[in-house]
Amino acid sequence: MAEARASFPIEGTPPLHPRDPLGWCLLLTGLYALLAGWRLAIPSTPYFDEVHYLPAARELLSLWETGQGAYLNREHPLLGKEMIALGMALLGDNPLGWRIMPSLAGTLTLFAAMRALWHASADRFASIAFGVLLATGFHLFIQSRIAMLDIFMAASLAVAAWQFAGACAQPETGRRRLALTGIALGLAMGAKWNAIPLAMLPGLAFFGARLSAGRRRLFLSRRGAPVPGITLVEAFLWLGIVPLAIYALTFVPGYWLGGYLRPSPLAEAGLIGFHTEILSLQQQVLTPHTYQSTWQQWVLNTRGIWYLYEAVDGAQRGVLLIGNPLTMLLGLPALAWCLVTGAWRGDWAKLGAAIGYGAALGLWLIAPKPVQFYYHYFVPSLFLLAALALALSDLRRSHWGGWLAWGTLAASVGLFVLFYPILAAAPLESADSFAKWTWLTGWR
């Protein structure tokens, strides 16, 4: 853990061991769970992409209860819909049942992300700041309160990052943590294909670290970074084979999901053959959408999506997906800072934040998906806020920047409070109340 990165500022003095902020992580997670779960059942009707995923989850429920169900929403893997169906099985086919699992997944994302940054950096302030920035960054909060697939992908990726960073920091737990990393990576891909570029990074990092050491027994040596005691062959098992196996297992219910007149399309085509249909559906030319956007607009936070804006449950209500206007922009120079200083100092936490952002966003620069939306920036924004947390920690240690670091966190919280009514579908005064928050034309 932190011991591996302890420093000796003065010869003869004991090493500095930063205290694990586990208590703060648990406190922030608990507060976030309460906030994200508050009035989770409002709106009481499906909104935005819930109209696509809830019918698919109902068919899974029907399969479990009656042995029959249609295979709907075939363009995405099954795990996210299975998780939504699980919530409905536990709490009923109602708004709370639809959204309870996304809410729990969002809470897990917050905790796992903080733990990942702690194990990677041993930076107490950055880990806590990351939690504050994530909780008030808008993306995580909104996705935690709607029955969509992205939150399950994000939660699995955060757990994978936590376990991989923990394996590197605590080699004595390396085998168990690498196994959990592989499981989490498989679940991430089973929720949404967007996870694939990031799912490759732990294995590539392990291979790169061993290759750079120049060892003769490259594949069988147990010595050296990133996880002493684990050979490259074993790492390939945990980070290459296990993710693919877990991913395949998430499709098992699909073998029994068929239409009313024919058996399951998955059973007919087989798992590999069925992926041809998924890819085809992903690439199909869609009708231009009012809220479609480009990656440049995501980066500058200039194009949002109204998930909801209508009179429902006795009041005018809205949910606007944008990023926190302050931290989305401050995160951009923070990414550059982390890339430069990380490379200069060999700081893998900073490099990981910058590389993760590049991999997550880079997918959308080459993806053959003709219509893209701002919610695709959700995962890149996690890495962006990690970079900002690390940069703020550096700023705090400077002789003049402490107040600026704390001020940025306070301002992020303040903006979250200001925008809260249109993040949580709170009652609004009138049909034109949206103008109070639509500071940019692209947010209307």
Q: Residue 35 is which amino acid?
A: L
Residue 305 φ then ψ, to 5°: -135, 125
CB of 301 within 8 A of CB of 325? yes
Q: Does the residue 53 lie in any domain?
A: no
CA distances (Å), 191 to each of 77, 327, 383, in order? 6, 27, 19
- The dihedral built from the CA positions of residue 424, 427, 429 and 431, taken in this order, carries a sign that is positive
> Is the distance from CB of 241 to CB of 253 less than 8 angstroms?
no
Peptide bond into 43 cis (omega under 30): yes
Q: Is residue 199 part of a domain?
A: yes
> Residue 141 has what DSSP assignment?
H
Q: How far apart are CA 420 and CA 319, in angstroms?
A: 9
In a domain, 218, yes or no: yes
pTM summary value: 0.93
DSSP string, 44-101: SS--TTHHHHHHHHHHHHHHHHHS------TTS-SHHHHHHHHHHHHH-SSHHHHHHH
For residue 264, the Cα-to-chain-centroid distance in whole angstroms is 31
As for how many domains the chain has, the answer is: 1
Q: Which residues, other chains included, contact 156 with Cβ-Cβ below 8 Å and sequence gap of 6+?
A: 184, 185, 187, 188, 190, 191, 195
Q: Which residues are 315's β-sheet partners?
A: 312
Per-residue tens of pLDDT for the chain, all 444 residues? 443 343 333 444 445 578 999 999 999 999 999 999 999 999 999 999 999 999 999 999 999 888 888 999 998 999 999 999 999 999 999 999 999 999 999 999 999 999 999 999 999 999 999 999 999 999 999 999 999 999 999 999 999 999 999 999 999 999 999 999 999 999 999 999 999 999 999 999 999 988 887 666 788 787 878 999 899 999 999 999 999 999 999 999 999 888 665 678 888 888 898 988 888 887 775 667 788 889 999 999 999 999 999 999 999 999 999 999 999 999 999 999 999 999 999 899 999 999 999 999 998 888 767 778 899 999 999 999 999 999 999 999 987 888 999 999 999 999 999 999 999 999 999 999 999 999 999 998
Instruction: State phi, psi for 326 to the nearest 5 degrees.
Output: -85, -55
SS3 320: strand
Domain contains 189: yes
Q: Which residue in the block uniquely carries the two structure tokens 């429902």?
A: 312
Element (H, E) at 252: none
Identity at 50, one-letter amino acid code:
E
Could you list the residue range(s) of the whole structural domain that residue 155 is in? Answer: 150-250
Evaluate whether residue 200 is within a structural domain: yes
Q: 81 Cβ partners below 8 Å, 6+ apart?
A: 53, 56, 57, 60, 73, 149
Q: Is residue 369 part of a domain?
A: no
CB atoms within 10 A of CB 65: 10
Q: Is residue 28 part of a domain?
A: no
Residue 162 forms part of a structural domain: yes
